[in-house]
Amino acid sequence: MATGRTHRPATRSRGIPEATVARLPLYLRALTALSERSVPTVSSEELAAAAGVNSAKLRKDFSYLGSYGTRGVGYDVEYLVYQISRELGLTQDWPVVIVGIGNLGAALANYGGFASRGFRVAALIDADPAMAGKPVAGIPVQHTDDLEKIIDENGVSIGVIATPAGAAQPVCDRLVAAGVTSILNFAPTVLSVPDGVDVRKVDLSIELQILAFHEQRKAGEEAEAQAGATAPAERENNGKGPDGDVPAVMPA
């Protein structure tokens, strides 16, 4: 998914699996909480529980970063916090712009989790002239016209798109043209970007739909269990044919 690029050929492996990268922030959060409670060391078992994964996975994940633990003891909390932060690139400052300051954009601007992790909201951008100058989360909203200038002056390489679906691709194109190489997209659209640009998508309704799928399956299992005995081999219809039950057409 839009992510990988050329492998690191020379030097050492440095190939941290994508699945591991996705869990590092989780570990980091758990470790930060321990750090605040001044806990000096944790075992893989304890930390795994706090992060909601199993300990074998956690140890394997950490093994990709290096040998940061001590056998018979566990991991030094502060040291691990530092190593993971560095690995994730959080020891540097990442200026971020948020484009589209509606409900969601405002929520993102106010979200504390960004600032505390090295992300700095450098600017808020919206297409509505009425918004211009209005402060959101203490930051004045700027107009889309100045997008390129803003990106350039702040050295922004990460952009967040929280516009309506229709505006997302044009905004994306402008961000990329202005030099942004990583995009977090909240608009319900597939963005197309040139090679070398990473896109991650967060889609609220997709998550709900996945839940609905499992929810439905639970209900089905109950019914099945009640009915006793062998379930009726799944709606037979399946043989194909635009017949079957039910006409067609979606809600909308």
Partner DNA sequence: TGCTGTGAACATGTTCACAGCT
Partner DNA sequence: AGCTGTGAACATGTTCACAGCA
| Closer by beta carbon to DNA, 26 or else 104 | 26
Q: Tokens 């690139």 label which residue?
A: 89
* 167 part of the interface to a copy of itself, by CB under 8 A: no
**And the tokens for 19?**
């699945």
Residue 81 binding: pick among DNA, a copy of itself, none (C-beta 5-8 Å cut-off by kind) = a copy of itself
Does residue 237 bind DNA (CB under 7 A)? Answer: no
The correct pick among 64, 74, 79, 173 for binding a copy of itself (CB under 8 A) is: 79
Least separation in angstroms between residue 126's CB and a copy of itself is 14
Question: What token pair was written down for 75?
Answer: 């991991």
Is 59 a residue that touches DNA (CB under 7 A)? yes
Alpha helices (runs of H) in the chain, residue ranges in sequence order: 18-36, 44-51, 55-65, 77-88, 103-110, 112-115, 147-154, 165-178, 204-227
**Nearer to a copy of itself (CB atom), residue 14 or residue 130:** 14
Distance, in Å, from the CA atom of 17 to the CA atom of 198, rounded to the nearest integer, reads 16
Tell me which of 24, 69, 144, 172 binds DNA, using CB under 7 A: 69
Alpha carbons 107 and 121: distance in angstroms, whole number: 12
Q: Output 24 or 131, the one with its CB closest to DNA.
A: 24
Minimum CB separation of residue 221 from DNA in Å reads: 17
Give, as one character, the DSSP assignment of residue 200: E
Report the residue number, 149 or 217, with the smaller CB distance to a copy of itself.
Answer: 217
Kindly state whether residue 135 participates in binding a copy of itself, applying the rule CB under 8 A: no
Q: Evaluate whether 156 touches 96 at the Cβ level (below 8 Å).
A: yes
Q: Residue 19 touches which of DNA, a copy of itself, none (CB < 5 to 8 A by kind)?
A: DNA
Ranges of H-type helices in 89-203 = 103-110, 112-115, 147-154, 165-178
Separation CA 217–CA 162 (nearest Å): 32
- Say which DSSP state 10 is in: S
Q: Which of 13/130 has CB closer to a copy of itself? A: 13
Tell me which residues in 168-197 interact with a copy of itself (CB under 8 A): 181-184, 188, 190, 192, 196
Q: How far is the CB of 77 from DNA (least distance, A)?
A: 11
**Which window, 56-64, 77-85, 147-155, 171-179, contacts a copy of itself (CB under 8 A)?**
77-85
> Could you say which residues in the range 75-134 bind DNA, by CB under 7 A?
75
Judged by CB under 7 A, which stretch of 51-59, 106-114, 120-128, 243-251 contacts DNA?
A: 51-59
Q: CB neighbours of 97 closer than 8 A, spacing ≥ 6?
A: 121, 122, 123, 124, 125, 147, 150, 151, 154, 156, 158, 159, 160, 175, 180
Is 52 within any annotated ligand binding site?
no
Q: Taking CB within 5 to 8 Å according to partner kind, which of a copy of itself, DNA, none is near residue 227?
A: none
